[in-house]
Amino acid sequence: MSILFVLIPLSLALVVLAGWGFFWAVSAGQFDDLESPGWDVLREEVPLPIGSSGDDDERR
């Protein structure tokens, strides 16, 4: 049973890693909007990059 003394700390390390990953994802805004990104692929018009005018995009 002494393997537990290795495996449990290992599992805790994995939990901390997963938790850190989740925190990063939340802070990066991955969970801010769970609906509209799903619709993006269906939208015909490509959303304009901020600061550029519409004409540039249409020409491309």
Partner 1 sequence: MCCSGCQAVAELISGTGLGDYYRYRDATSTRPRNDDLAADKWRVYADPEFARQFTQIANGQTSTTLLIEGLRCSACSWLIDQVLRRHAGIVDVSVNAATGRANVCWDPARLNLADVMRTIAQLGYVPHPVTDETVSRALREERRDGLKRLAVAGFGMMQVMMFAVAVYSAELAHEVMDPGILNYFRIVSLLVATPVMFYAGAPILLSAGNSLRGRSVGMDVPVGIALVLAYAASVWNTFQNSGGEVYFDSVTMFIFFLTLGRFVQMSVRQRTAGVTDALARQLPTIAHRARDGGIEDVPVTSLRIGDIVQVRRGEVLPADGQLLDGEAELDEALLTGESLPVRRPAGDRVVAGTINVGGPISVTVTALGTQTALSHIVALMQRAQGHKPALARNADAAAAKFLRYVLLGAGMTCAIWFAIDPSQAFAATLAVLVVACPCAFAIAMPAALAAATASLGRQGILLTDADALEALARVDHIVFDKTGTLTRGELRVSRCVPLENLTETRCLQIAAALEQASEHPLARAFARHPGAGSVDDLRTFAGAGIEGRIDGRLYRIGSPQFVCELHTLTHEAPADLTGSPIMLGDEQRALAWFELTDSVRPAAAEVVSDLRSLGIEPVILSGDGHGAVATVAQKVGITEAVARCSAQEKLSRLLNLQQQGKRVAVIGDGVNDAPVLAAGDVSIAMGRGAALAHASAGLVLVSDNLSALPEAVKLARRTLRIARQNLLWSAVYNFGSLPLAAFGLIPPWLAALGMSLSSVAVVLNSTRLLPRSVFEQSTAAPRSRLSETAA
> Which residue ranges make up the site for partner 1 (CB under 8 A)?
1, 4-5, 8, 11-12, 15, 18-19, 22-23, 26-27, 31-36, 39, 43, 47-48, 50-51, 54
Per the CB < 8 A criterion, the answer to whether 25 and 31 are in contact is yes
The residue assigned the tokens 């939340």 is: 26
- How far CA 36 is from CA of 10, 15, 29, 40, 42, in Å, comes to 38, 30, 13, 6, 10
Is 47 or 60 the residue whose CB approaches partner 1 more closely? 47
Is 53 or 60 the residue whose CB approaches partner 1 more closely? 53
Closest separation between CB of residue 35 and partner 1, Å?
Answer: 4
